[in-house]
Structure 1
Protein backbone atom coordinates (compact mmCIF):
# COMPACT_ATOMS: atom_id res chain seq x y z
CA UNK A 1 0.00 0.00 0.00
CA UNK A 2 1.12 3.51 -0.72
CA UNK A 3 2.12 5.88 2.00
CA UNK A 4 -0.58 8.60 2.39
CA UNK A 5 2.11 11.27 2.66
CA UNK A 6 3.43 10.34 -0.80
CA UNK A 7 0.01 10.47 -2.49
CA UNK A 8 -0.04 12.51 -5.68
CA UNK A 9 -1.17 16.11 -5.56
CA UNK A 10 -3.87 17.60 -7.80
CA UNK A 11 -4.39 21.23 -8.77
CA UNK A 12 -7.74 22.76 -7.78
CA UNK A 13 -9.12 26.30 -8.09
CA UNK A 14 -11.17 27.73 -5.21
CA UNK A 15 -13.46 30.68 -5.97
CA UNK A 16 -15.17 32.81 -3.33
CA UNK A 17 -18.20 34.25 -5.16
CA UNK A 18 -19.93 36.74 -2.89
CA UNK A 19 -21.12 40.33 -3.28
CA UNK A 20 -17.55 41.59 -3.01
CA UNK A 21 -15.24 41.02 -5.99
CA UNK A 22 -14.66 37.28 -6.39
CA UNK A 23 -11.40 35.74 -5.24
CA UNK A 24 -9.81 32.91 -7.23
CA UNK A 25 -7.05 30.90 -5.55
CA UNK A 26 -5.12 27.94 -6.94
CA UNK A 27 -4.21 25.23 -4.43
CA UNK A 28 -2.65 21.79 -4.49
CA UNK A 29 -4.36 19.10 -2.43
CA UNK A 30 -3.98 15.34 -2.16
CA UNK A 31 -5.82 13.15 -4.63
CA UNK A 32 -8.16 11.94 -1.86
CA UNK A 33 -9.10 15.49 -0.78
CA UNK A 34 -12.69 16.63 -0.37
CA UNK A 35 -14.36 19.94 -1.21
CA UNK A 36 -14.01 21.08 2.41
CA UNK A 37 -10.29 20.22 2.41
CA UNK A 38 -9.71 22.40 -0.65
CA UNK A 39 -11.62 25.32 0.89
CA UNK A 40 -9.61 25.08 4.10
CA UNK A 41 -6.32 24.82 2.18
CA UNK A 42 -7.12 27.91 0.12
CA UNK A 43 -7.62 30.17 3.12
CA UNK A 44 -10.20 32.37 1.37
CA UNK A 45 -12.64 32.07 4.27
CA UNK A 46 -10.13 33.33 6.84
CA UNK A 47 -11.14 36.99 6.48
CA UNK A 48 -14.82 36.35 5.73
CA UNK A 49 -17.59 35.68 8.23
CA UNK A 50 -18.40 32.41 6.43
CA UNK A 51 -17.49 28.88 7.42
CA UNK A 52 -17.55 25.65 5.45
CA UNK A 53 -20.68 24.65 7.39
CA UNK A 54 -22.83 27.74 6.74
CA UNK A 55 -22.10 28.42 3.06
CA UNK A 56 -23.15 26.67 -0.11
CA UNK A 57 -20.43 24.78 -1.98
CA UNK A 58 -20.29 23.64 -5.57
CA UNK A 59 -17.97 22.33 -8.26
CA UNK A 60 -18.40 24.01 -11.64
CA UNK A 61 -21.83 25.33 -10.63
CA UNK A 62 -23.17 21.98 -9.39
CA UNK A 63 -24.09 21.87 -5.71
CA UNK A 64 -21.82 19.57 -3.67
CA UNK A 65 -21.57 18.54 -0.04
CA UNK A 66 -18.39 19.33 1.91
CA UNK A 67 -17.37 15.66 1.87
CA UNK A 68 -17.62 15.27 -1.93
CA UNK A 69 -14.39 14.04 -3.57
CA UNK A 70 -12.39 16.25 -5.94
CA UNK A 71 -10.76 15.58 -9.28
CA UNK A 72 -7.83 17.28 -10.95
CA UNK A 73 -8.49 20.81 -12.25
CA UNK A 74 -11.87 21.16 -10.50
CA UNK A 75 -13.14 24.64 -9.62
CA UNK A 76 -14.67 24.74 -6.14
CA UNK A 77 -17.15 27.60 -5.73
CA UNK A 78 -18.08 29.06 -2.36
CA UNK A 79 -21.41 30.88 -2.35
CA UNK A 80 -22.74 32.92 0.53
CA UNK A 81 -26.06 32.16 2.19
CA UNK A 82 -29.28 33.24 0.50
CA UNK A 83 -30.52 36.68 1.50
CA UNK A 84 -34.11 36.34 0.26
CA UNK A 85 -36.35 33.40 -0.57
CA UNK A 86 -36.43 33.07 -4.40
CA UNK A 87 -40.15 32.19 -4.49
CA UNK A 88 -41.10 35.21 -2.43
CA UNK A 89 -38.88 37.50 -4.51
CA UNK A 90 -40.58 36.32 -7.71
CA UNK A 91 -44.04 36.85 -6.18
CA UNK A 92 -43.04 40.36 -5.25
CA UNK A 93 -41.82 41.13 -8.80
CA UNK A 94 -45.06 39.83 -10.33
CA UNK A 95 -47.17 41.92 -7.96
CA UNK A 96 -45.16 45.00 -8.83
CA UNK A 97 -45.90 44.43 -12.54
CA UNK A 98 -49.58 43.81 -11.76
CA UNK A 99 -49.81 47.04 -9.81
CA UNK A 100 -48.51 49.15 -12.69
CA UNK A 101 -51.67 48.51 -14.72
CA UNK A 102 -49.73 47.86 -17.91
CA UNK A 103 -50.81 45.30 -20.45
CA UNK A 104 -48.10 42.97 -19.15
CA UNK A 105 -49.39 43.36 -15.62
CA UNK A 106 -53.02 42.85 -16.61
CA UNK A 107 -52.40 39.48 -18.26
CA UNK A 108 -51.69 38.09 -14.80
CA UNK A 109 -55.19 39.10 -13.68
CA UNK A 110 -57.12 37.26 -16.41
CA UNK A 111 -58.43 34.74 -13.90
CA UNK A 112 -60.19 37.51 -12.03
CA UNK A 113 -58.51 36.51 -8.80
CA UNK A 114 -57.42 39.41 -6.62
CA UNK A 115 -53.67 39.74 -6.19
CA UNK A 116 -52.36 38.19 -3.01
CA UNK A 117 -50.36 40.18 -0.50
CA UNK A 118 -46.67 39.35 -0.25
CA UNK A 119 -45.57 37.55 2.87
CA UNK A 120 -43.76 39.71 5.38
CA UNK A 121 -41.05 37.15 6.14
CA UNK A 122 -39.26 36.93 2.80
CA UNK A 123 -35.78 37.32 4.29
CA UNK A 124 -34.10 34.11 5.40
CA UNK A 125 -32.33 34.02 8.75
Structure 2
Protein backbone atom coordinates (compact mmCIF):
# COMPACT_ATOMS: atom_id res chain seq x y z
CA UNK A 1 0.00 0.00 0.00
CA UNK A 2 2.88 2.41 0.69
CA UNK A 3 3.94 2.12 -2.97
CA UNK A 4 0.42 2.98 -4.14
CA UNK A 5 0.33 6.08 -1.94
CA UNK A 6 3.70 7.24 -3.27
CA UNK A 7 2.48 7.07 -6.88
CA UNK A 8 -0.88 8.74 -6.31
CA UNK A 9 -1.68 12.18 -4.87
CA UNK A 10 -2.60 11.95 -1.18
CA UNK A 11 -4.39 14.08 1.37
CA UNK A 12 -4.14 14.17 5.16
CA UNK A 13 -7.30 13.47 7.15
CA UNK A 14 -8.24 12.39 10.66
CA UNK A 15 -10.70 9.82 11.94
CA UNK A 16 -12.19 10.33 15.42
CA UNK A 17 -14.31 8.29 17.79
CA UNK A 18 -15.23 8.91 21.41
CA UNK A 19 -16.70 6.91 24.23
CA UNK A 20 -17.97 8.69 27.34
CA UNK A 21 -14.52 8.77 28.96
CA UNK A 22 -12.15 7.81 26.16
CA UNK A 23 -11.49 9.17 22.69
CA UNK A 24 -9.05 8.67 19.87
CA UNK A 25 -8.12 10.66 16.79
CA UNK A 26 -6.09 8.90 14.13
CA UNK A 27 -4.26 10.96 11.53
CA UNK A 28 -3.64 9.28 8.21
CA UNK A 29 -2.80 9.90 4.57
CA UNK A 30 -5.24 8.60 2.00
CA UNK A 31 -5.32 8.85 -1.77
CA UNK A 32 -7.31 11.71 -3.27
CA UNK A 33 -10.87 10.62 -3.96
CA UNK A 34 -11.14 8.53 -0.78
CA UNK A 35 -14.64 8.51 0.69
CA UNK A 36 -15.63 9.13 4.30
CA UNK A 37 -16.43 5.44 4.79
CA UNK A 38 -13.20 4.24 3.18
CA UNK A 39 -11.07 6.55 5.35
CA UNK A 40 -12.84 5.35 8.49
CA UNK A 41 -12.13 1.75 7.50
CA UNK A 42 -8.52 2.44 6.51
CA UNK A 43 -7.81 4.19 9.83
CA UNK A 44 -7.95 0.93 11.77
CA UNK A 45 -9.96 2.60 14.53
CA UNK A 46 -11.98 -0.60 15.05
CA UNK A 47 -8.79 -2.14 16.46
CA UNK A 48 -9.16 0.31 19.38
CA UNK A 49 -12.96 0.27 19.55
CA UNK A 50 -14.22 -3.16 18.45
CA UNK A 51 -17.84 -2.18 19.15
CA UNK A 52 -17.87 -0.06 15.97
CA UNK A 53 -19.74 -1.74 13.13
CA UNK A 54 -18.40 0.38 10.31
CA UNK A 55 -21.05 -0.40 7.69
CA UNK A 56 -23.82 0.57 10.17
CA UNK A 57 -22.05 3.50 11.85
CA UNK A 58 -23.27 7.07 11.52
CA UNK A 59 -20.43 9.19 10.15
CA UNK A 60 -19.84 12.90 9.80
CA UNK A 61 -17.28 15.55 8.97
CA UNK A 62 -16.54 18.14 11.66
CA UNK A 63 -19.86 17.59 13.46
CA UNK A 64 -22.06 17.52 10.38
CA UNK A 65 -23.63 14.16 9.52
CA UNK A 66 -22.87 12.68 6.12
CA UNK A 67 -25.90 10.97 4.58
CA UNK A 68 -23.94 8.80 2.12
CA UNK A 69 -20.49 8.19 3.62
CA UNK A 70 -19.67 5.72 0.84
CA UNK A 71 -20.16 8.48 -1.74
CA UNK A 72 -18.87 11.59 0.07
CA UNK A 73 -15.26 12.32 -0.99
CA UNK A 74 -12.92 13.82 1.59
CA UNK A 75 -10.80 16.94 1.21
CA UNK A 76 -7.42 17.80 2.71
CA UNK A 77 -7.54 18.31 6.49
CA UNK A 78 -11.06 17.06 7.11
CA UNK A 79 -11.90 15.02 10.21
CA UNK A 80 -14.21 12.03 9.91
CA UNK A 81 -16.24 11.49 13.07
CA UNK A 82 -17.85 8.20 13.98
CA UNK A 83 -20.95 8.71 16.10
CA UNK A 84 -22.10 6.36 18.85
CA UNK A 85 -25.73 5.27 18.93
CA UNK A 86 -27.88 7.40 21.22
CA UNK A 87 -28.64 5.87 24.61
CA UNK A 88 -31.65 8.11 25.25
CA UNK A 89 -33.93 10.14 23.00
CA UNK A 90 -32.77 13.79 23.31
CA UNK A 91 -36.35 15.05 23.09
CA UNK A 92 -37.39 12.89 26.05
CA UNK A 93 -34.37 14.01 28.08
CA UNK A 94 -35.21 17.70 27.48
CA UNK A 95 -38.87 17.06 28.33
CA UNK A 96 -37.94 15.40 31.66
CA UNK A 97 -35.49 18.19 32.47
CA UNK A 98 -38.16 20.83 31.79
CA UNK A 99 -40.63 18.99 34.05
CA UNK A 100 -38.05 18.85 36.85
CA UNK A 101 -37.37 22.59 36.54
CA UNK A 102 -41.10 23.30 36.57
CA UNK A 103 -41.54 21.24 39.76
CA UNK A 104 -38.58 22.98 41.42
CA UNK A 105 -39.99 26.42 40.63
CA UNK A 106 -43.49 25.55 41.86
CA UNK A 107 -42.01 24.02 45.02
CA UNK A 108 -40.05 27.17 45.86
CA UNK A 109 -43.14 29.37 45.89
CA UNK A 110 -44.81 27.28 48.62
CA UNK A 111 -42.25 27.99 51.33
Q: Larger relative contact order (C-alpha < 8 A, sep ≥ 6)?
A: 2
3-state SS of the aligned residue for 1:45?
helix
> Unaligned 5+ residue runs, structure 1?
107-125
Structure 2 counterpart of 1:81, from 79, 85, 89: 85
Q: Let me know the Cα RMSD of the aligned residues.
A: 2.1
TM-score (normalised: structure 2):
0.79
Measure how far apart 1:60 and its partner are.
Answer: 1.1
For residues 35 and 94 of structure 1, the distance between their equivalents in structure 2, rounded to whole angstroms, comes to 37
Corresponding position: 1:66 with 2:63 = no
Distance 1:10 1:78 in 2: 19
Q: Distance in 2 between matches of 1:49 and 1:8?
A: 32
Unaligned runs of 5+ in 2: none
Q: Deviations over 1:40-96 (max 9, x none)?
A: 111112332111233221111111132211011111111111111111111111111
- Higher-Rg structure is 1
Secondary structure of 1:54's counterpart equals coil
State the number of aligned residues.
101
Give every structure 1 segment of 4 or more consecutive aligned residues whose post-TM-superposition deviation is greater than 4 Å.
Answer: none
Check the 8 A contact 1:54/1:81 in 2, yes or no.
Answer: no
* TM-score under structure 1 length normalisation: 0.71
